Chain A
Amino acid sequence: MSTVNEKITEKIRSEAQRLLSSGEIAAFIGYEAGSLPMSVRPFVARKPEDASRLVWNSFCVLNLANYLPALLKSFEPPRRPGDPPPEGPLPKVGILATGCWSRNIVVQIKENQVDRDRVVIVGVPSRGMVSARKVKEAVGERDIQACTEEDHSLKISGEGFEQELNRWDVVRDNCKTCVHPDPVIYDILIGDPAGERQVQDRFAQVDEIEHKSLEERWDWFADSFSSCVRCYACRNACPLCYCPTCFVDDSRPQWVGKSTEQTDTMLFHILRAYHCAGRCTDCGSCESVCPVGIPMRLLTKKLNKDVLEMYGSEAGMSLDEPLPLTTYNPADPQGFVLTEKSEKGGDR
């Protein structure tokens, strides 16, 4: 009996093989096996025979949409600013997409980073990805030498121990509170749609912090972000971050200092999260790749909550709707505005 993921892997391989050998796409973005237990590596298959290296399992945590704009650009002939767009059809790229990744592709399309006609989206309904950090904690931070995955369990072993974990117990927090596991756009769908999930308290983690006092919130922020090394893995693993020059690299004016001093680290995280407002799909890529375990996802989750509550919108749900910060409603809540305090409605 093969597991769900093994079946998906088979289908991914055959679809990628077909697309690459028919010449429909020039490259396929997927995952291949990694060198460590619980690791996979993003992989760009360029030849039909590469397709057999593709895998799918519960550790595919980095959002593949991250690679899409740059990979598409790499197939375009070089041109200078102001040159006319290239003539004729350009090569296409295939990509795997779960619910959140597909929503990120929608955001990229809306922001003119990706041309829908040049992408072949192979949708995979997500069963939730596992947090390697949670697994490490569950086995007492011991050195993990092997991990085998069944549909609902993980077998972890190392020197002198073997432990079986319930898969759902170690699934990432963002996946546990995910409402849209199915891709919202796709050309090919692999596996069965999971349907909308009913999640109680999707924003429980955010609520917990909101209920703290002001001082406690500041302490939480200061403590949990203090070990940041400013490696920018969170920024670079994010499919929303494609600016040619990031605000952290601006020098006139310099918005944030370059060192790991508290103020500069905090400002980096506030602004990084804020730049994702109305665009973030809570894919959890940032938190999963952080080498020091900073919960920066809670900042974007807070913004997602507010965007949903105030503007009734979730990022990337459809190609027709504008992104929430590129539009407005004359009746938007404005209770925070000093001169509008007395006005009724929307007082928050």
Chain B
Amino acid sequence: MGTTSEKNWEPKIVAFLCNWCSYAGADLAGVSRFQYPPNIRIIRLPCSGRVSANMILDALRSGADGVLVSGCHPGDCHYISGNLFARRRFALLNNLLEFVGIEPGRVNFSWVSASEGEQFAEVVKEVTDKVKKLGPSTRLVKRIG
């Protein structure tokens, strides 16, 4: 994904946001003019329960320096419990990735509601800072010639 070695390297972060809370939270951050780093590329999904490990790893394989998955707070899911099922899967994936040596902080999870525009900006700042500290992603990245 573009420049990696230069001094002015900026991480590219893929953010999987649920339609009902986190995406709306991002929207609110925008209309409320809360500034956050422009490093994230948002992919809108119906629910955090729709996010599969395949997608997260595909982002890493394609060269994303970081991944953020964000959904509704537990109890607030538009589909009642999608995020609660997802939470178990995310917890296991998070641990498994760490187990095989993927840096903690490459893949991140958060709960942000539709009314939390400021919190959304905070989360993006935090994730961007973390990934910047880690540097360009090298593990599980597919390279073509």
Contacts and interface: CB of A to CB of B under 8 A. Distances in A.
Q: Do chains A and B touch in the complex (CB under 8 A)?
A: yes
B88 interface: yes
A203 to B, nearest CB: 12
Contacts of B110: 337-339
A325 B57 contact: no
Contacts of A232: none
B140 A266 contact: yes
B91 A334 contact: yes
B132 interface: no
Contacts of B100: 217-218, 221, 266, 270, 299
B97 A328 contact: no
A210 interface: yes
Contacts of B119: 339
Contacts of B141: 263
Given A330-B75, A338-B110, A324 B99 contact: no
B97 to A, nearest CB: 7
A333 interface: yes
Interface size class of A (residues with CB under 8 A): 35 or more
A219 B127 CA distance: 26
Interface in B47-99: 53-54, 57-58, 61, 74-75, 81, 84-85, 87-99
A230 interface: no
B76 to A, nearest CB: 12
Contacts of B58: 253, 255
Contacts of B104: 214
18 contacts: A218-B139, A221-B100, A222-B101, A255-B54, A263-B140, A263-B142, A274-B93, A274-B96, A277-B89, A302-B99, A303-B92, A310-B91, A333-B91, A336-B91, A337-B110, A338-B108, A338-B109, A338-B126
Interface of A: 206, 209-210, 214-222, 247, 253, 255-257, 261, 263-264, 266-267, 270-271, 273-274, 277-278, 299, 302-303, 306-307, 310-311, 324-328, 330, 332-334, 336-340, 348
* A-B pairs, 3 with minimum CB distance: A218-B101, A328-B84, A217-B101
